[in-house]
Structure 1
Amino acid sequence: MLDAPLRARLDAPLARAAKALDRSWISPDRITTAGLVLGLGSAATAALQLWAIALLLWLISRLADGLDGPLARLRAQRSGTESGAGGFYDITADFVVYGTTVVGVAIGASAAYDVSLWPFLLVLLAYYLNGAAFLAFSSIAERHHRTLDDGRSLSFLGGLAEGTETIIVHSLWLILPMLAWHIAIGWAVIVGITAAWRIHAGYRALR
């Protein structure tokens, strides 16, 4: 829901940052890898209940995730060629980070505050349904030439839960781990609604 207005505000600053990072030894894939490693570090430190460190690693990880795309587009404009490999790696890394950070918070919060794990299982289920819906739509839309081009590698159907909301929610349960399971219940509902909307909208768009 917040991705489109935020992208409108951040596209220019991120493009300038990408130009500053445009060095031969820095590649979009290396930035993606850095974001992946930092995200996994956030999950691990959350599981160890090192909440402040986990939050810092999470936010830097998401910053890296915001920079690999602009750098890839800058390189593609200069070379005149574009490969889908980077976009595939980026979205796969995002899914790995999202899933492992949910598990890390669940482990840490349950150990520290003796909370139930089932709300986090609901979040993972909602992520699974949501991811299946938008990835299936993107693949089939490409095949039938009905892509939605917003500059990203995949065709994204909008919804209540997008990247910006994910960053906010994952940050919240690292800031307030004692309330993480409450946040997880609400987040699972929102992501579930988004998944249902994407299934409905995707089916109608492809008819």
Structure 2
Amino acid sequence: MLDGAVRKHLDPILDRLGAALARGGVGANAVTITGLALGLVAAVLIAGQYYLAAAIVIVVSRLCDGLDGAVARATRKTDFGGFLDIVLDFAFYGAIPLGFIGADPQANGLVGGLLLFSFYVNGSSFLAYAIMAEKRAMTTDVRGAKSLYFTTGLAEATETIAAFLAFCLFPTWFPLLAALFAVVCLYTALSRIVLARTRFRDVE
């Protein structure tokens, strides 16, 4: 929901940084992999209950996630790069709740599992919609030039990062905050299913 507004302000900065990295010989895929590596470090820090340090690493990780596209735009966009970006993004999204489950399995285990379930459902609805959109040659630039069709929703990258930072800043509230965000993710998936029912009607 907030990605469009955030991108409007952040993209010019990322494009300049991405162009500088490209001139220095840094590849987009290397930035993507670095972003995941930092995300996994954040998950380990969370499991060790170093929450503030994890929050800082999460921010840097997601800056890498924005920078990889900027580097690609400054050099050459590839299908593999787009594939790698989305796969490693989902790996990051799964790692952070897993870190909170590891930090306190008794308090966070059940709701952490619920959050991962909601990510699974929301992510599959996003990817399935993209596949059907590609099949029908649908295009959109609502979230900028992407390697696959992006549908908007209540829970997008900005909201997810904000939720992760809230988890880190208020770790004792994780069960409540995670449950609320799981509901938001499931609502987003449901709204995408309703949209797909409207857009993907077959002609009799």
Q: Is the shorter-chain TM-score for this pair beyond 0.5, marking a shared fold?
A: yes
Q: Unaligned 5+ residue runs, structure 2? A: none
What is the aligned partner in structure 2 of residue 176 from structure 1? 170
The answer to whether 1:60 aligns with 2:60 is yes
C-alpha separation in 1, matches of 2:113 and 2:197: 27
Helix, strand or coil for the counterpart of 2:23?
coil
Following TM superposition, the consecutive aligned residue runs of length 4 or more in structure 1 with deviations greater than 6 angstroms are none
RMSD over aligned CA atoms reads 1.3
Normalised by the length of structure 2, the TM-score is 0.93
2:110 to 118, 140, 162: 118
- 2:82 partner amino acid: G
The structural deviation recorded for 1:116 is 4.2
What aligned pairs does 1:18-57 form with structure 2 within 5 A after superposition? 18-57=18-57
2:99 to 89, 93, 104: 104
For residues 132-158 of structure 1, the C-alpha deviation after alignment (integer angstroms, 9 at most, x for no partner) is 111011112112101323312221111
Helix, strand or coil for the counterpart of 2:75?
helix
The answer to whether 1:205 aligns with 2:176 is no
Q: Is the 8 A contact 1:138 1:147 kept in 2?
A: no
Count, aligned residues: 199
- 1:142 partner amino acid: E
For residues 72-117 of structure 1, the C-alpha deviation after alignment (integer angstroms, 9 at most, x for no partner) is 01213xxxxx421001001100100110111101221x26xx5142
The answer to whether 1:144 aligns with 2:136 is yes
Helix, strand or coil for the counterpart of 1:148?
coil
The answer to whether 1:85 aligns with 2:77 is no
What is the aligned partner in structure 2 of residue 191 from structure 1? 185
C-alpha separation in 1, matches of 2:108 and 2:152: 31
> Could you tell me the percent identity over the aligned residues?
37
Normalised by the length of structure 1, the TM-score is 0.92
C-alpha separation in 1, matches of 2:198 and 2:73: 31
Helix, strand or coil for the counterpart of 1:115?
helix
Q: Is the 8 A contact 1:18 1:74 kept in 2?
A: yes
C-alpha separation in 2, matches of 1:116 and 1:56: 22
* More moved, 156-165 vs 143-152: 143-152
The structural deviation recorded for 1:24 is 4.8
C-alpha separation in 1, matches of 2:197 and 2:28: 33
